[in-house]
Amino acid sequence: MTTRVEIKSKPSSPTVWLEVTYSGLAPPVSLFDDLSMVGWTPPPIPPPPASAIDWSQPDTRTGQNFTIADYLVEAAVVDAPRGSGPLGRWTDADRRAHFAVLEGVLKRYDLLDQVKEGQHRTRATAPAASPAPPAAATPTAAPMAGPQPAPVARTDHEPAAPTPLPVGTARLIAGVTPASEAAMATSLANAGVRGLTFTPIHRTVVHRYRGAESEQRVLDHLRLEVTAPLDAVDEVKTAITRTAASTGQAPPEISTEVSTATEEEPSPQLHAVAAVSSA
């Protein structure tokens, strides 16, 4: 039994919601945590139904006097973030921004290629016997006008040791929410920044249920790292702070590391001197 995600929408409305179907013995806790971090509202994990509990068979693994058979949780609704339109509805700009972040989360769990708006497909765990029929094409939003974000590097590990800074530059580091990633990249592109990195920082969450304990590694925040000229540091700081506020984040703490390197002076040249004989 595998996790299945379906994107749902109403006619003439840009707002969507997700319906997730999954195994009750393997709930997608990490997926729900990541969706929650980017503004979506997942439902609570439901307890097993009475029909899945076998009181005649003790569970030797957990020491409980019953076992729980696998069961299906169908169409669990994940509500979308509020939009900037009337009554919290999405505008076209909201849709582009939220879909850009949602695609990153779904890609992390190998669900992006399987999710199609208005339909669903089960995530494959083995090669399919025959190719699936082509899905109907869905209209894509037009690209936003103005400067486009520079290429953004994203890694899924702890940041490596910082590289030496070029002469006349500074490194700015801030912790930002995943929901602000797309807006942050666009804002910094508008400020003339052409090099930035988002590094996912994770934390471990312990889940306990009826004596059983499990650990989940979930996304906590993104580590934003920007290298900018010294005369642009204040402008970059302002862009980061304003963008964080526009996405509902408190002003992040921004640390600054200034290059200590100096330009090398040319080494003195040695010139041959002719010997002068004394009279």
Give the per-residue pLDDT at 181. Answer: 84
Give the per-residue pLDDT at 136. Answer: 46
Give the per-residue pLDDT at 161. Answer: 57
Taking the whole predicted model, whether its pTM rises above 0.85 is answered as no
Q: Write out the two tokens for 165.
A: 């800074």
Domain boundaries, the chain: 1-122, 147-260
Q: Write the DSSP symbol of residue 278.
A: -
Give the per-residue pLDDT at 122. Answer: 33
52: phi > 0 → left, psi -120 to 50 → alpha, else beta; which?
Answer: alpha
| Cβ contact 12:195 at 8 Å | no
Residue-wise pLDDT tens digits, 185-230 = 888 877 777 667 888 888 887 777 666 767 777 788 888 988 888 8
Strand residues in 66-128 grouped as ranges (E) = 67-68, 72-78
- Closest by Cα among 153, 163, 122, 116 to 136: 116
Q: What's the CATH fold of domain 147-260?
A: Alpha-Beta Plaits (3.30.70)
Residue 264 has pLDDT above 50, yes or no: yes
Residue 31 has pLDDT above 90, yes or no: yes
- pLDDT (mean) for 68-80: 92
Cα 164 from Cα 260, distance rounded (Å)? 9
Give the per-residue pLDDT at 18. Answer: 92
Give the per-residue pLDDT at 153. Answer: 42
- pLDDT (mean) for 95-119: 80
Residue 276 has pLDDT above 70, yes or no: no
Residues 6+ apart with CB under 8 A from 171: 162, 165, 225, 226, 227, 256, 257
Q: How far is CA 278 from the centre of its chain?
A: 82
